[in-house]
Structure 1
Amino acid sequence: MLPYWLLFLIPAYAALRERPGQHWHLRRQPLLLGAVALLGLMIGFRYQVGGDWGSYIAYLYSAQFMGFLDALMARDPGYILLNWLASNSINEIWLVNLACGLIFSIGLVSFARTQPRPWLVIAVAVPYLVIVVAMGYSRQGVAIGLTMLGIVALVRDRSTLKFILWIAFAASFHRSAVMLVPIAALSMGRGRYWAAIWVGIATIVLYFLFLDDSVDSLVSGYIEAEYQSQGAAIRIAMNALPSAMLLIFRKRFPFLPGEWLLWRNMGLLSLFFVVLLIVSPSSTAVDRVALYLIPVQLFVLSRLPDAFPSRRAGVDPMVLMVVLYSAAVQFIWLNFAGHSSAWVPYQLYPLV
């Protein structure tokens, strides 16, 4: 477990030392590249880590018998193309995982750089989003990383088009990302009606490109089979509680113009998933889609020290509480989660 704890302690230590708004330490190119490299290499060079490891080996094997056009027209073409490139070069799974790890890490670090305490964002992300999702569910990990790039484009650039393009790219790795497109329409301020029209058109196009031929299999595979996901209630609560705090203490959180609508909608959706989990016959389906709402955790928890400031000198007590909470999440998951044995021990590819 030591590699996982080192991966957490580095950003946690930086988070305890950083001050709000002092982005210089993460904006400097060497440290920025270092954060991306550390996360990307840990994710990319893992060996037999994650519950879906066997499935990803099967993807690589199948890609050997595909042509380029076959890969391009396959389901989840972004991920299949990566496997096709790997199978036609060195034929090693680490190349696919490394590409996925770097894409995810770029998305996470880019999102973190837009927040007042970027290292705290990364520290909060490591226990579940990095270790469990990015290392365990490669395709969806990439999709979430690309989704965070879309959030940056929507909030910072106020560009609905860029958001849709990033989501389309994400959907090429995991089709469920298409479900986030309507959030853009609901999060626009001025010109929201025209934006809603264009987002609606984009949603229809992306649906037929990525989801239309797989809805039946989704329904039969998850809903009708009533698949249950261990710990789904806890993971959805991890989104719901920060969302409730955001909605209750809205005035304590500073927002950029138009940013409030995005986080309000994602917060409400997180709370809706609590109800959906209760009424849905398949907790697995709800659990997997709810992963796209993890950025709400990163946004709220990393801003708690500024929403509830302390006058004490030295380490901010709220920062310490968030770091300790994140450490507890990591400890509990690694030691007590039902499938954590698929992650432990961490094995590094070159050393196996």
Structure 2
Amino acid sequence: MYSIPAVAALLVVPGKKSAGWLPWLLLGLFFTICIGFRFHVGGDWNNYLPHYYREIGAAFTDPINGDLGYVLLNRLMAHLHWGIYGVNTVCGLIFITGLITFCRAQYRAWLAFAVAVPYIVIVVAMGYTRQGVALGLIFWALSHLEEGKFFHYAGFVAVAALFHRTAVVMIPLGMFLYQKGWLFRAVAVALIGYALWDALMAPSLERLWTTYVEQKMFSQGAAIRIAMNFAAAVLLLIHWQQWKKIYPNALLWLWMAWVAMACVFFVNFAPTVVDRLGLYLTPLQVAVFARLPHLTRRRQDPAITVRYILIGYGAVLFVWLNYAVHAQYWLPYQNVLFE
């Protein structure tokens, strides 16, 4: 899974549209199958099965208990008798489509995708199904936000929140675009954010606070994952002067960098909360490392920088697979098509 985009990052001439759509369609199909048809892969595999079984025989008009989008998807798959694999395949397709849309907007698209594989694809999309869908939609939303399309961004974030309500925290990022129309966007963010918060977060806020903060639910490896976002944030700040000259709507990435750095100070207080919310900051890694070869081109050959990045993320994957406490739930990789 990692070697395909890594090799392409080394061999394909960079450029937004240099590879055409066919390789990306094949890549998307491959990863959708890997995610959707995985068999007993992922730390929350057994936790997601009851979500599907609970919807067997349920009518679409029955009350919704959980995240609206995910519950309705399970209900539809139960009616179609597609099983948990139908649910995971649809979720995988949404996630990969969002990720590929974002990566193809980068000059080094294959490098961007390679950076996403070790943690964002393998751990999140193949482990935290609901938040994986939400993250895929956030990638999609950020693609629109960089183009200055605020309402497109807000729409994708709203849909993401239907799969995992915590995605509402990304709504305020929409304010940090170009200065023109700032007050209008601030009002829109406040109204949209309040509506989503009141509808999705407020009813379960007390339970979430008790579970994640008061009981201090522990998230193994949270500090390492926060550190990865922190490293990307530091690199962006180092190259900020160049960044803001080259890339449109650079301010939104600066704010993501500041939040990523702030997470370092809160990770010990509520590690799982910061870790889960930090997932929405992982696009910062993809954007920064995909652009780093261009930012450092005057001091170092971009091809060498690409190799360093690929070696670094390859090492991340190696260490995680061999030493992470929960890696046992991903190994060996199994696919129902071959069982």
After TM superposition, list the pairs within 5 Å mapping 1:134-283 onto structure 2. 134-156=125-147, 158-253=148-243, 258-278=248-268, 280=269, 282-283=270-271
Structure 1 segments, 4+ long, off by >3 Å, are: 254-258, 310-313
Aligned residue among 324, 329, 334 for 2:311: 324
Question: Does the aligned pair in 2 maintain the 1:35–1:109 contact within 8 Å?
Answer: no
Residue 319 of structure 1: SS of its match in structure 2? Answer: helix
User: CA offset at residue 230 of structure 1?
Assistant: 1.1
Per-residue CA deviations over 1:218-265 (Å, capped at 9, x if unaligned) read 101111111111111100000011101101211233666652111001
Check if 1:13 corresponds to 2:13: no
Amino acid at match of 1:41: I
User: CA offset at residue 21 of structure 1?
Assistant: 2.4
User: CA offset at residue 22 of structure 1?
Assistant: 5.2
Check if 1:284 corresponds to 2:272: yes
**% identical aligned pairs:** 38
Residue 15 of structure 2: SS of its match in structure 1? Answer: coil
1:289 and 1:61 mapped to 2: Cα distance? 28
Residue 335 (structure 2) aligns with: 348
Question: Does the aligned pair in 2 maintain the 1:60–1:87 contact within 8 Å?
Answer: yes
Q: Please, which moves more after superposition, 107-116 or 258-267?
A: 258-267
Please report the TM-score for the alignment, with normalisation by the length of structure 2: 0.96
Amino acid at match of 1:173: F
1:350 and 1:126 mapped to 2: Cα distance? 22
Q: List gaps (5 residues or longer) in structure 1.
A: 1-6
Please report the TM-score for the alignment, with normalisation by the length of structure 1: 0.93
Check if 1:300 corresponds to 2:288: yes
Residue 180 of structure 2: SS of its match in structure 1? Answer: coil
Q: Please, which moves more after superposition, 258-267 or 141-150?
A: 258-267
Aligned CA distance change for structure 1 residues 255 and 334 (closer, same or farther; 3 Å): farther
Aligned residue among 29, 35, 48 for 2:40: 48
Residue 80 of structure 1: SS of its match in structure 2? Answer: helix
User: CA offset at residue 186 of structure 1?
Assistant: 3.1
Question: Does the aligned pair in 1 maintain the 2:157–2:170 contact within 8 Å?
Answer: yes
1:307 and 1:249 mapped to 2: Cα distance? 7
Residue 25 (structure 2) aligns with: 33
User: CA offset at residue 193 of structure 1?
Assistant: 0.7
Question: Does the aligned pair in 1 maintain the 2:172–2:189 contact within 8 Å?
Answer: yes
Aligned CA distance change for structure 1 residues 247 and 337 (closer, same or farther; 3 Å): same
Over the aligned positions, Cα root-mean-square deviation in angstroms equals: 1.7
Residue 69 of structure 1: SS of its match in structure 2? Answer: coil
Residue 4 (structure 1) aligns with: none
User: CA offset at residue 159 of structure 1?
Assistant: 1.6
Aligned CA distance change for structure 1 residues 251 and 18 (closer, same or farther; 3 Å): farther
1:298 and 1:255 mapped to 2: Cα distance? 19
User: CA offset at residue 187 of structure 1?
Assistant: 3.4
Residue 105 (structure 2) aligns with: 114
Per-residue CA deviations over 1:299-341 (Å, capped at 9, x if unaligned) read 111111111127888x811000000001000000000001000
Q: Please, which moves more after superposition, 60-69 or 255-264?
A: 255-264
Q: List gaps (5 residues or longer) in structure 2.
A: none
Aligned CA distance change for structure 1 residues 70 and 12 (closer, same or farther; 3 Å): same
Residue 332 of structure 2: SS of its match in structure 1? Answer: coil
Question: Does the aligned pair in 2 maintain the 1:44–1:100 contact within 8 Å?
Answer: yes
2:8 and 2:24 mapped to 1: Cα distance? 13
1:223 and 1:324 mapped to 2: Cα distance? 36
User: CA offset at residue 181 of structure 1?
Assistant: 0.3
1:344 and 1:179 mapped to 2: Cα distance? 33
Aligned pair count reads 339
Question: Does the aligned pair in 2 maintain the 1:44–1:94 contact within 8 Å?
Answer: yes
2:126 and 2:249 mapped to 1: Cα distance? 30
User: CA offset at residue 39 of structure 1?
Assistant: 1.4
User: CA offset at residue 139 of structure 1?
Assistant: 0.4
Per-residue CA deviations over 1:273-313 (Å, capped at 9, x if unaligned) read 111113x2x21111011000000000111111111127888
Aligned CA distance change for structure 1 residues 256 and 83 (closer, same or farther; 3 Å): farther
